[in-house]
Structure 1
């Protein structure tokens, strides 16, 4: 099979390590280990299941344990959508939230595989055409009022803002606990249709946030499961903005996974599905589309989407009623995302202008986004025709300092790793060598 794929054993080991990391597993292989398998050794769990998954993906056909000559060790590798093929109803939405929030105990002997290709966009299209859930009222248990939902939403808002300063690693557990409270209320209390839809919207936003925190921490499959469950909540809540926002995050993840066509499809599905009653939400969706197009190297589409986003942000009339979850989109964030887009398009001057503006507007806050902006801006100074290493190293040092002592974000660490890679041609320079040493523990180089 390795000959059919055209891989050496070391390449298989690298693919397996990447697969394990992508799915949040701690295990890693030595690059020479697959040579032992070729000689007849049987790998320990979970490697047999991962080998079948990686080879099946590469060969575009299902590979079994029997074909490899290995026994089934009982470790299951299943697609991220397993258990989430449910009716688009309030009951289906409740079950989806329970399935994804109670799955941690299964993870020792089971691993969910990241969706790729058309499997990534299938949940989006199902949500887009699903009929709106009918009466979501419940007559079970003690009555629950809208005032209680107000308190639940206040906690959710606090968790969103906590993530800005602590990062994903320290916040996800709290989000899951709060989600359990909301799910319990949906299951065990009685409420009217309007209160029920609000509860589903709260659960959907928590699932969106849990997915974002998982994605930011590098756990892509877990993120996909949270987001698919969130789409069920958006349908039960009759909240197109919530669903479109979830699709925007799915688009952001798809581009990071190299699924560029799917990223554009998800971003455009999000824009097409939203009635544009909130300028902030519409701006968020335009920026997601811009990122998708930038990664696909489509300059015209990127600039058009960015122009739309900045145009919408000037429409701040209060009657639009922007949802609380859109609080984060402002001029600083829009400039930061525009800067990211121009980095991807290798337009270093435009990228630098936007990133400088974002950093100026954010002030002296030491947040995850600040670290990301510093890392991206540093990259522009390295990649320009005449590199300015002193500026790049100063900005990179700030990013490392923030990510080492204050904020946890695997996504931002990846950009620091990219910066270190861009500095490789200058590693004989003492200052560059010192920066690489300072960043070593953070990025594990």
Structure 2
């Protein structure tokens, strides 16, 4: 008898549905394939039902099933894609590779969403993997193109479907900024799994395909950013890599640059500033290809942050100056909607982060204060910027730091964002020498209580 996992085999179910949904013909083909290898098998439609329930046939059953599905679907299918891997090793790599083929990209992305919805433990127990971002960006840079995202599935996909995905991406983007990644990530993933995955398996021409892959890439990026906001760094990497792959399939250099900039942002946060610099430079190549000055400015700024985290003042200054020059050339209204957040206030916030890394409290405070002119709707960003300003004021005016920090605390209390709590923890640590002041001691206790709940 094969072993029975706790979960039904959704991967195999989706593949069988895509192949026409017939169980008996599948069993017959597998038996015929085995006979061709000199192996006598006794599979029938009941056998397929058991596989769908979670039972795994003994070898070479998984390999034969994969071979038959490869033939029926016209693309490479492996036992792991059929939910019949030999153990957790194959699953543990899910989403960490930038696929070489379009079909592989769709398989990897949809498998990631499915396993995430099913709350597979291997996705929850992963940490930041050092090598995967450099490998993904190298694939992005060297993959031949352009690609032609077309599909001949049974469901017809049209402009209305693409518009719906774009609308959902916009709605989730606004929610993420207002309430934090912890409150939206699972909903984004559920939507990807239940509504977007069937579209990617549908029938569409290249014009629709490019839009569909681009809109999906933006949604997947949001899921990755939300995971990063919750400090689920290994999970964030999987989503950002798959987002980059889908953006590449869409031929969207601008979105690709934005995704690599997000990777750079995360790399600095987890203490990999050298990688952050490399990722930012790769992002800049994509931004230059897109011809968007504001986007190129952003890429220079995330590079500057990486240099600052390495304590390289000269390179930080050069990158910040390049960011300012690029920003001065930006044309109002030219950037995509997902780049609307990148304005003078955001640029000031990133500049303040750089000076904080370099230990320059005066200039950190100056630029953090400028960042507070930010647009409404960016609640999480305001919490960050208030914490940043408060932390810079601690050495010279701890009471003012507490006053400003309370604003960050009030906002963070309504967010599901572990990053916002990390900013507050840092502020609490910086205030420690002034714990003799009553208002400081009370505020530090309030931060402790909130971060314990988070």
Shared fold per TM-score greater than 0.5: yes
1:353 matched to 2:366? The reply is: yes
Are residues 243 and 112 of structure 1, via their aligned partners in 2, closer, same or farther at CA, if it must alter by over 3 Å? farther
1:97 matched to 2:109? The reply is: yes
TM superposition score normalised by structure 2:
0.75
**Are the equivalent residues in 2 in contact too, given 1:75–1:109 (CA < 8 A)?**
no
**Are the equivalent residues in 2 in contact too, given 1:78–1:112 (CA < 8 A)?**
no
Aligned with 1:379 (options 391, 394, 397): 391
Alpha-carbon RMSD across the aligned residues, in angstroms, is 2.4
**Aligned pairs, number:** 365
Alignment of 1:48-127 (within 5 A): 81-82=93-94, 84-85=96-97, 87-104=99-116, 105=118, 107-108=120-121, 112-127=125-140
Partner residue, 1:368: 380
Partner residue, 2:400: 391
Partner residue, 2:179: 166
1:309 matched to 2:337? The reply is: no
**Are the equivalent residues in 2 in contact too, given 1:152–1:182 (CA < 8 A)?**
yes
Question: Offset of 1:117 from its aligned partner?
Answer: 3.4
Alignment of 1:13-412 (within 5 A): 81-82=93-94, 84-85=96-97, 87-104=99-116, 105=118, 107-108=120-121, 112-132=125-145, 134-180=147-193, 181-187=195-201, 189-274=202-287, 275-317=289-331, 321-359=334-372, 361-362=373-374, 367-383=379-395, 387-404=396-413, 406-412=414-420
Structure 1 Cα separation of the partners of residues 123 and 181 of structure 2: 23
Q: Can you list the C-alpha shifts for 1:361-394, whole angstroms capped at 9, x where unaligned?
A: 12676711111111111111114xxx20111001
Which secondary structure does the structure 2 equivalent of 1:444 belong to?
helix
Structure 2 Cα separation of the partners of residues 258 and 430 of structure 1: 34
Are residues 148 and 300 of structure 1, via their aligned partners in 2, closer, same or farther at CA, if it must alter by over 3 Å? same
Which structure is larger by alpha-carbon Rg, 1 or 2? Answer: 2
Q: Which runs of 5+ in 1 are unaligned?
A: 1-73
Structure 2 Cα separation of the partners of residues 410 and 227 of structure 1: 18
Structure 2 Cα separation of the partners of residues 296 and 222 of structure 1: 25
Structure 2 Cα separation of the partners of residues 146 and 364 of structure 1: 31
Structure 2 Cα separation of the partners of residues 357 and 427 of structure 1: 28
**Are the equivalent residues in 2 in contact too, given 1:80–1:221 (CA < 8 A)?**
no
**Are the equivalent residues in 2 in contact too, given 1:207–1:229 (CA < 8 A)?**
yes
Structure 2 Cα separation of the partners of residues 352 and 197 of structure 1: 44
Structure 1 Cα separation of the partners of residues 102 and 89 of structure 2: 29
TM superposition score normalised by structure 1:
0.77
